[in-house]
Chains A and B, each alone.
Chain A
């Protein structure tokens, strides 16, 4: 990659909101510098691209593929496999590719339940015959039409193909993208599997002041209180994911007076971001705990509305349990 030839870059989309595409465009004029050194050979969101063109390429012809979005259906998986084959470096780009992201919350349900809801139960649906989407349909003239298969679970990219580097966040911020690109263009790459973000926690970047004794008296949701601009969110009873989240975003949400939601994912020593945050919040909640009765504790913990959604907003598919049990047991 150090030769004079331009790098070949692909930007590939899985189950995504396309925010990651926009994030790349957000590097603005710096994009020109990137283009000096690299050709974008495949990027369906910003230019015309056919999968057939990629299929025609030689294996490992693409230098770097940025894959954003989770793997939700057979189409996502097929494309991920194709790009993996054609690329030297595969980067999981954004929280969805890294951890499953917001889409990962669909792991609290399954295909059947989603179809039932969408095609039968919603108020605006009129489907008396109970027709459900099929992956294959043969019409009377003998034509067979196919649709991709939606999976029961949402997967992070590395469950389906080997991933070389990770750039988390929802979406990645320009600085983080440029750092990643600089590493690639210089050929000065860290060991495979590295997450191209800080090792530290978000709190290390946070400028808010923390109280001496860290405790949570009452848990609030952001809309319920007027949030103090200077004080630590947790001290105000807001479930800020900072202590369980990797640094690197520059606390953009917290600076905008919004608690961190954990999109940069866990640190290298965390195995389950949601479980760890739950442990932390429960520990400092209701201190001194000696005087609490069991009922008090139960009542207090009910104040954490939707703990799974709060603590695993971006990382359910990479958590220890990965999803809600399918058998319901």
Chain B
């Protein structure tokens, strides 16, 4: 064991005669930042366990990234708060004991075997992602479930706010992508399953039919007996002016009568399978409209002149309908507990776009927009003003209660106008429902993308990709959450950037030590409780065994503190090591503070920066999350002589790992009830939310806990 001491040019005073036994060598460093220091520490790591005593982890980690180093914060937590240097002796002893009882953390390395990527979904996001990856020199497989690329945007007419026709963006993008030799486009293709890890995924594809490019005999379409209403009427075999330049078969509708094959014998209606190997996967599966039939009171499907937003846009643009009066219902089924509980972000603007489109084409049309709140954020306020003031569209605040049809076929929209405070009825030719969007959950499930509600969990808090382990699976475009076309094109750099970063390397390494499950204790038939505890779906069943997905695991340790059998251990924070550290550093009468590394630990650092004072016998143990703090660790603190224990974590709802702090609160509340049975005052155990700036709260809390005994 080697203990490195760094004193910041005399800022940290170390105790005299430091001695931790024969097998612990103490080395004093002159400078933290030199190449020589780095090499010395790295060399020591090869043969020894290493404790580094110096500044806060926040600084030390910048110089030494190996997770096997145990840092001791002698600056912020001792020197700067004016504590007796003797405290360092205890802190180092705890770290030595922890390392003696911990396993070496294996830096998991993933080889990037395949310098290629799979992009699922050839909508605007998938196309842009494929374009960027392919232009960086990597092979891209771009697969599309539908017979043509282009996705939702290909089926729109105009883009808001300016009303730009979709062709402005779509056509050049498609041409650039499909002409790139690095891109292989596969339409009518779905992902069956994907296996493997970053750098090495095997993906099984199911391909329906074939593509006969450059041949477009109109007769194919004419002989097809299947009529489909896809926003507008078409046949099961059809042409869409995107890519490929051929007839495409809608296999959901196709009855396989074979009439088209008689016209064009090269066509195939069969199904083939293919396995591809890629280093990374991008999910750009976009969105589907919410099923408007489920909003029964709006009569969609019952009344022919109630349309969804896309249906209306396609039909109106193609001149199939010419209503004299229209009600556009924003938030149809959105922000509604019975339907979609969330806001789909873009529908308000789609509503304005539809209103403007109608007025542009037929200015005499009466247009009403029903809305709950108009979410015209950023530059869109101006768009809203134009539609309202210049175009004379009438806005009614209130959610329609029902839509009825009267005897002459007109629609009656009943609604409370909140601003006028009265019930009104609008009689119109046609109603357009601005339904919300739902993501394509199927591909999320197949790839093990964990969702919170409907959308991938990464988008729920703001911690995505900062400390997450290298994962070869990315999300692009509206699959993450609803976005408009401009946002997609701008944000699309995120996924290809990540893919290119991975593919450009020979291997990637895990950033965060992950949990491991001891199969001697936990195998086959097991309690599976850690699966429920994991906020990321990283702990999952593989066959009959519970395993940790090392790509997804964020290293919070909530599962470790949940596993009652001790089978699940977070590397670097194994229970055995934690208990040894607590035992090694605690003196009688200490206050032990378990501080989460994201918030509270930084507050304690800040207390040092501000030279606040708090009792010397407060000793801090850094944990990834309060959710890692097990009841064993708290009891061990008391057993080792602690008179009080503080568990401090992120502010409520702001836990880096979503609910780690809430889980900790439940455990501590339960433990408090039991502590009194052990004859320990439950008031000496506290859980507090201490945000990173709340240094004063930290100092006050530990001072209070330290003083508890005297008050009694």
Query: A interface vs B, CB < 8 Å?
Result: 108, 199-201, 203-206, 210, 213-215, 234, 242-244, 266-290, 292, 294, 297-298, 300-302, 304, 306-309, 311, 319-329
Contacts and interface: CB of A to CB of B under 8 A. Distances in A.
Given A267-B567, A308-B677, A275 B669 contact: no
Contacts of A271: 566, 575-576, 579, 632, 636
29 contacts: A108-B677, A199-B520, A200-B521, A204-B526, A214-B528, A214-B529, A266-B565, A268-B521, A271-B576, A272-B631, A275-B635, A276-B632, A278-B631, A278-B671, A279-B562, A283-B666, A289-B665, A290-B659, A292-B662, A297-B666, A301-B669, A302-B673, A304-B670, A307-B670, A320-B632, A320-B636, A321-B678, A323-B678, A325-B678
A289 B659 contact: yes
A304 B674 CA distance: 10
Contacts of A108: 677
A200 B565 CA distance: 8
Nearest to A304: B670
B666 A210 contact: no
Contacts of B670: 278, 281-282, 285, 301, 304, 307
Contacts of B78: none
B521 A282 contact: no
B638 interface: yes
B631 A275 contact: yes
A104 B575 CA distance: 25
Query: Looking at chain B, what size class is its interface with the partner chain?
Result: 35 or more
A68 to B, nearest CB: 26
B17 interface: no
Contact of B565 (A276, A282, A297): A276
A239 to B, nearest CB: 11
Contacts of A311: 674
A282 B632 contact: no
Interface in B654-712: 659, 662-663, 665-667, 669-671, 673-674, 677-681, 709
A23 B671 CA distance: 35
A285 B566 contact: no
Given A289-B662, A308-B677, A283 B529 contact: yes
Contact of A203 (B526, B575, B576, B579): B526
Interface in B590-634: 630-632, 634
Interface string B553-578: 00000100111111101000001100
Interface in B518-546: 518, 520-529, 531-533
B467 interface: no
B679 A301 contact: no
Nearest to A200: B521
8 tightest A-B CB contacts, nearest first: A269-B566, A244-B564, A325-B679, A275-B631, A308-B677, A282-B670, A276-B564, A307-B674
A115 B579 CA distance: 36
B522 to A, nearest CB: 7
Contacts of A274: 674
B653 interface: yes
Nearest to B684: A329
A243 B678 contact: no
Contacts of A276: 563-566, 630-632
Given A271-B579, A275-B632, A324-B677, A280 B562 contact: yes
Contacts of B634: 275
A267 B521 contact: yes
B583 to A, nearest CB: 10
B575 A269 contact: yes
Given A271-B579, A321-B635, A282 B674 contact: no
A215 to B, nearest CB: 6
A282 B564 contact: no
A71 to B, nearest CB: 21
A287 B673 contact: no
B677 to A, nearest CB: 4
Nearest to A201: B565
B527 A210 contact: yes
B710 to A, nearest CB: 12
Nearest to B666: A282
